[in-house]
Structure 1
Amino acid sequence: MSASRPDVGGLLATLADAVRTRLWPVPVGFVVLALALGTFLPLVDEAVADDLPSVVDTAVFGGGAAAARDVLAAVAGAFITVTSLTFSLTLVTLQLASSQYSPRLLRTFAGDRSVQVTLGLFLAIFVYSLVVLRSVREPLDDGGGFVPRLSVSLSVLLAVVGVVALVLFLAHLVRRIRIEPVLVDVREEAHDSLGRTEESEEVPAALQGRTDGLLVRAGSTGFVTSLDRDALVELARERDAVLDLTATPGRLLVRGEPLGRLLPGVPAGAQVREADEELSRAVREAVTVGEERTSAEDPTYGLRQLVDVAVRAVSPSLNDPTTAVHALAHLADVTAAALEHGLGDALLRDEDDVVRVVLRRQGVPEVLDVAVGQPLLYASGDPVVLAAMLRVLTCCARVVGSDAGSMDLVRASRDRVSAAAEGFREDERWRLLLDEAVAAVDEAAAGRP
C-alpha cells in the first residue's frame, strides 16, 4: 500500500489537547528557559562589567560576592517553598473537583493555563537563581572575583514578580473552585469541539446492514481519542472499498471488539479479503486509543461532563439542586448547539467525492438519553430540577424544527419528564412551575417563540 497523507489538522488538535490538559509541559518549558538564561546572562555580565552606563550601574546590584550568594540562595530557597505550596493547593483543588463535581473535570482543571504558568514561573525563578549562584566567585589574593550584577538584579526582580504572581494565583484559585466558572469553561470547550466536527449526513442505503468484507477488531482497550481521517480514506480508496467505522471518538473499546468493517465495492471483488492482517493493522494504527476520554474530537464529551455535575449535585451526599439547575442550563445550550450542528453518522469522501469512510456516531436518541434520560433517573425527587430538564427540551425543540423524527424524540422525552413530575402536581406552586415548563416545550415544538 502506498503511504497515506497524515491528517495534520487532527494530529495538531490532539497534540494541542494533550499539551493543554497536562500540568508539566508549560513548567518544563519555563525551566529550560531559566537554565538557558541563568547560563548565558552571567557571560553577558562578564563581558559588559566595565562598560555599564552610570544610570544602570547605580540601579543594579552593588554588593560583593558574599552578598550576592546570600541573595540568590534566599530567592532560590523561598521559591522552592512557594512552589511546594502551589503544588499542594493545586492538588487540593483537583481532589475537591473530583469528589464534588466529577472526575471528568480534572482535565479542565489541569488545563488551566494560569496554574501552569504560575508553577512554571516559580520553578523558573528557583532554577535561574540556582544556576546564577554557581557563577559567583569570591575574590582571591590575585583577584579573579566575579559578581554577575545584572544576573543578581534580575533574580531580585523575578522574586518581586513571583510574589505578585502568588497573590494573583491565590485569587484565581478561589475563583476556580467555584462551580459557575467551571461550567462556563466546559460549555465553551464543548462548543469548540463541535466546531471541529463533521456535520452529520444520511448514510446511503447500499451501505446499511452489510456484514461482508473485512471485520477489523480493536487491538487494545481504551477510549477512542482521535482518527487519522486522511489515512482511513486513503486505505479505503486504494482497495476501492468503504470503511464502516463504529469506533469513533468518545467510544470506549474493549480489545477484540469490532472496530469497523471494510466493505468491498460493488460488484464485490477480491480487493478486500475476509482475513487481511496487514490491512487490519493499518486501520487500527489510524485509530488512536487512549486511557481517558478527551474533547479534542469528541463533540459529546462536554454533555457527559455537564450531566455528571448535575447528577452528582442531586446525590444524597451533596444535595445541591441549585448546582444541578445551573449545570442543566449550560447543558441546554450545548445540547441545542449539538442538534443544530447536526448529530449522527458522518461521511468522509476522497478527492473524487466518493464516500470512503462512514463514521458511526451518537445521534439524537443517544444525546437526549444522556442529556435528559440519565439526570431523570436521579433527579425525579426535585420539581425545580425537573423543570430545568424541560428547559433543556425546550431549547432542543427550537433547533430541530421541521425534523419530524427528532421532534418525536423530544416530545417522548418531554412525556417522560412530565410523568416523573406527576407526584408534585398536588402542590399548586409546583404544578404551575411544571405546567409552564411543559407548555414552553410545546410552544417551541409548534414553532412559536
Structure 2
Amino acid sequence: MSHRTYRRPRVLSSLREHLRDTFWFAPTLTLILVFLLWLAADAVDTALVDVLKETGDYEAVRSLAALSQDAKTIVTTVSSAMMTFIGVVFSISLVAVQMASGNLSPRVVRIFIRSRISKLTFSVFLGTFVLSLLVLTSYDSETDPRKVVSVPLVQAALTLLMVGLSLLLFIAYVTQTLQLMKVGPVVERVTRESFGVLDKMPVQDADTAPLPAEVARIGHQGRAGTLRDVHVARLVRVARRRGVVLRLIPRIGDFVVPGTPVLAVHGGGGDLPSRRILGSAVSVGVDRTFHQDLGFGLRQLSDIALRALSPAVNDPTTAVQCVDRIVQFLAAAAGRPLGAVHYRDRDGVVRLVQDVPGWGDLVNLGFAEIRGCAVGSPQVSRRLIAGLEDLLRFVPEARREPLERHRALLVAAVQTALPEAAERAFALEPDRQGIG
C-alpha cells in the first residue's frame, strides 16, 4: 500500500464545500449586503441634503427632489416587475434540471446547485427587488425643500445599476443553462471536478512506520447516510493532543448507519479522544460530494453512459463521450500513487490515515458496468477496446492487470454474443470515435 502525505489541511475546507452544495447561502448573504448598501446610500443622500441646506441652496434641493421623483417611476416599475422576472427566469432552471436529470443522470443536478453563475444571478435578482422596495420607503412626501429630510437619488442610481447587472447576468445565465443541457459540457464539467479531487492527492511519501496497535473503535452515532467527508484538521488536532493515530475505517462515499465503526484509535496511553468530538468531525449526508471522494466523478460518468446504453434511450454516442472522459481521467491517475493517505501534524507525525480507491478500484468503476452493456453496441465496444489499449501503452507494469482483464472479458463477451466472425472483428476493432 502506498503512503503519502497531504499539505497541512485547511480548517474551513469542509465548511466551504458544504456551503457550495447549498443554494440558500449566497442569496441570504446578498440580501444582507444589499441592506447594508442601502443604509450607506441613505446616509449619503441625507448628508447631501444637509449640506445643501446648510449652504442655503434650496433650489438645488428642489431640483434633486424633482429628479428623484422621475427616478421613482423607474424604481416602482422595477419593484413590480422583478419578482415576475425571477419566476420566469428560474422556470428555465427547473426545465433544464428536469431534462438533465432524465436524459443523463439525477446526480448531475448538483452541477446546477453548485453553479456560481446560477447563484449569483438569483442573488442579484433578489437583491435588486429588495433594494427597490427599500428605496421606495425612503421617498419623502414633503414638497417644501426646507422640510425635505432625504432625496434618495444615490439609492435610485444604485437600483438602476443593479438592474443593469441583472440584465448582464441574465444573458450569462441563459448561456450557461443552455450549455449544461448538452451532454458534452456536462461530462466535461464532471471531469473537471474529478481532476480537482485528483490534483489534491499528495506526492509520494517515504516509507511510513506501521501503525501502533489498535486500542478502540468509534462507532457512528448520528443519522444514517452517505459519508461525505471528514474534518481532517479537527481530527489531526485531536489525535495530536491525545498522542494517538486515527484511522478512518469506511471510505468516503460509503453508506453508514448508527453503530457502524468509522474511526479506529491506534496507540496512546489509554486516554482516548472524546467520542462526541470525533463524531462531530464526520459528515454524513444524503448525497456524495466531490470534496474528498476520488471515485465520485467516475461514478457519474458511468451512470450517464449506462443510461445512454439502456434500451429506453439507446444513445451510444453519449456513452462514447463518457468513455472518452473516463480514459482521460484514468490516464492522469495511472502514474500517481494510490492507497492510504497519511495526514501529519505540524511536527510531521502521522495522526490520521484515510483509505482512498486504488488503481484497480478506479478501473473497475470506470469500465465494469459499461463493458457489460457494450456488447450490443459496436460503437461503444470499439471505443472501449481503443481506450484500454491506449492505457496499456503507458501504464506501469504493475497496473496492467486490471486493464488486461477488462479487455479479455470484453472480447469474450463479444465473441459469445455475435455469431458472425465479421461482426466480431468489426465490434472489436479499436476506434477512438467508436464508429467515427
1:111 pairs with 2:106: no
Given that 1:314 and 1:379 are in contact with CA atoms closer than 8 Å, whether structure 2 keeps it comes out as: yes
One-letter identity of the residue aligned with 1:135: S
Preserved CA contact (<8 Å) 1:295 1:302: yes
2:103 counterpart residue number: 100
Match of 1:247 in 2: 250
State the partner residue of 1:283.
278
Distance 1:354 1:8 in 2: 12
2:339 counterpart SS class: coil
CA–CA distance in structure 2, aligned partners of residues 154 and 229 of structure 1: 43
Provide the secondary structure at the position in 1 that maps to 2:299.
helix
Q: Which moved further from structure 2: 77-86 or 195-204? A: 195-204
**Aligned partners of 2:338 and 2:358 also within 8 Å:** yes
TM-score by length of 2: 0.83
- Do 1:380 and 1:420's aligned partners in 2 also have CA atoms closer than 8 Å? yes
Q: Aligned-pair distance for 1:355?
A: 4.3
- 1:259 equivalent in alignment to 2:262: yes
Distance in 2 of aligned mates of 1:424 and 1:202: 50
CA distance in 1, matches of 2:179, 2:367: 29
Pick the aligned partner of 1:193 from 193, 197, 208: 197
Does the 8 A contact of 1:137 with 1:144 survive in 2? no
Structure-1 residue corresponding to 2:217? 215
The CA deviation at 1:335 is: 2.1
Structure 1 residue 128 and structure 2 residue 122: aligned?
Answer: no
Cα distance in 2 for residues equivalent to 1:345 and 1:154: 53
Aligned equivalents of 1:194, 1:113: Cα separation in 2: 22
Q: Comparing 228-237 with 329-338, which one deviates more in the overlay?
A: 228-237
Q: Given the alignment, which residue of 331, 337, 361 partners 1:366?
A: 361
SS at match of 1:435: coil
Give a deviation string over 1:246-278, Cα, whole Å, max 9, x none: 22322222221222332347xxxxx349xx6x5
Cα distance in 1, alignment partners of residues 206 and 107 from structure 2: 32
Partner of 1:413: 406
Cα deviation, residue 334, structure 1: 1.3
- Partner amino acid, structure 2, of 1:12: L
Match of 1:428 among 419, 422, 431: 422
Q: Which moved more, 1:8-17 or 1:319-328?
A: 8-17
SS at match of 1:261: strand
Give 4+ residue runs of structure 1 displaced > 6 Å after superposition: 200-205
Query: More displaced, 247-256 or 228-237?
Result: 228-237
Bigger shift: residues 392-401 or 254-263: 392-401
1:224 positional shift:
2.2
The percentage of counterpart residues that share the same residue type is 28
Q: State the partner residue of 2:32.
A: 32
Shift of 1:368: 1.8
Aligned pairs for 1:60-75 within 5 A: 63=66, 67-75=70-78
> Is 2:168 the partner of 1:173?
no
The letter for the 1-side match of 2:189 is D
CA pair 260-387 structure 1, distance change in 2 beyond 3 A: farther
Say whether 1:183 aligns with 2:178: no
Q: Is 1:10–1:228's contact at 8 Å kept on the other side of the alignment?
A: no
In structure 1, what is the Cα distance between the partners aligned to 2:143 and 2:341? 76
Checking the alignment, whether the CA contact within 8 Å between 1:241 and 1:272 is kept in structure 2 is: no
- How many pairs were matched up? 414
Take 2:194 and 2:400, find their aligned partners in 1: how far apart are those partners?
23
Please provide the CA RMSD for this pair.
Answer: 3.3
Q: Distance in 1 between matches of 2:141 and 2:67?
A: 8
Residue segments in structure 1 that go unaligned for 5+ positions in a row: 1-6, 52-56, 266-270, 439-449
